[in-house]
Amino acid sequence: MIAAAGLRWILTLLFAVSVVHGVWRAVLPGTRAADRVDHTLHAAMGVLMTAMAWPWGMDLSAAPQVVLFSAGALWFVVAALRRPRADGSRIAAVLAAWPHVVMTAAMAWMVAAMDVSGSMAGHSGGGAMHEMHMAGASGLASMSLSGTAPRTAAGVLAAVLAGIGLVWLTRALDLARAWDPASGRVPRTAAPGEGVAGALAFGCHASMALGMAVMFVLLV
């Protein structure tokens, strides 16, 4: 849980951007079934990351979340291998999907690590992530991880997620600057990487990754 109300709302807004985009893309006519699953997973991540920032989110059961996001990480790998690409390279497909794999796997690890730390603190029961009354980074959070290894892992993941988020944000800005309104509107079903749709997709993914990076920093 985030103790600082201002930071809690900032993170909520960041995750809400990803949720709205994920839901919109998932229900958009013409979206392929595999892409609908991708966007649904992104939306679910945004919802649960938002929940973690609020007191009520700490009462959600950890086990279903770990299973969901572990399966999600595996899904992104399998989907990348099966998704057709113009160059036909499976390696390129996996490399393109690895940021999503990292994010979903990191989400699963975060939920599991918080649940274990909560249990060690004597505040967990029935598999739920109850509030951990331990000061986080700079007193901004009322949750933290127990042990040097989990905190180190959280710090590394925070750096990786921040890097992913900054790369995506850069791509979003580049696509937005390159878009020429005079050339005509981009179809609503345009795939990520194409014009405004691509800029929006990368921007929303960046907001999710950067928000997650902040959450991981608070666990250190």
> Within 10 Å of residue 51's Cβ, how many Cβ atoms?
19
d(Cα 73, Cα 111) in Å, to the nearest integer? Answer: 14
d(Cα 122, Cα 107) in Å, to the nearest integer? Answer: 23
pLDDT: is 107 or 119 the higher one?
A: 107
> Within 10 Å of residue 164's Cβ, how many Cβ atoms?
23
Looking at the 3D structure of the chain, how many domains does it have? 1
pLDDT given at position 191: 45
Residue 11: domain span = 5-219
pLDDT given at position 125: 46
In three-state secondary structure terms, 82 is: helix
> Residue 7 pLDDT > 80, yes or no?
yes
Q: Kindly give, in sequence order, each residue whose CB lies less than 8 Å from that of residue 141, ignoring residues fewer than 6 positions away.
A: 1, 2, 3, 4, 135, 218, 219
pLDDT given at position 134: 41
d(Cα 62, Cα 58) in Å, to the nearest integer? Answer: 9
Binning pLDDT at 50, 70 and 90, where does residue 133 land? very low
- Beta carbons of 41 and 75 less than 8 angstroms apart: yes
Which pLDDT tens digit goes with each residue over 61-101?
999 999 999 999 999 999 988 876 666 677 877 888 999 99
pLDDT: is 60 or 137 the higher one?
A: 60
pLDDT given at position 67: 95
Q: Which of 18-32, 125-139, 186-200 has the lowest mean pLDDT?
A: 125-139
Average pLDDT, the chain: 82
Which pLDDT tens digit goes with each residue over 160-210?
999 999 999 999 998 888 766 655 554 444 444 557 788 899 999 999 999
Q: Name the token pair of 135.
A: 């000061």
For residues 43-50, average pLDDT? 94
In 183-192, which positions are buried (b, 16+ CB within 10 angstroms) versus exposed (e)?
eeeeeeebeb
pLDDT given at position 192: 46
Binning pLDDT at 50, 70 and 90, where does residue 119 land? low
> Residue 218 pLDDT > 60, yes or no?
yes
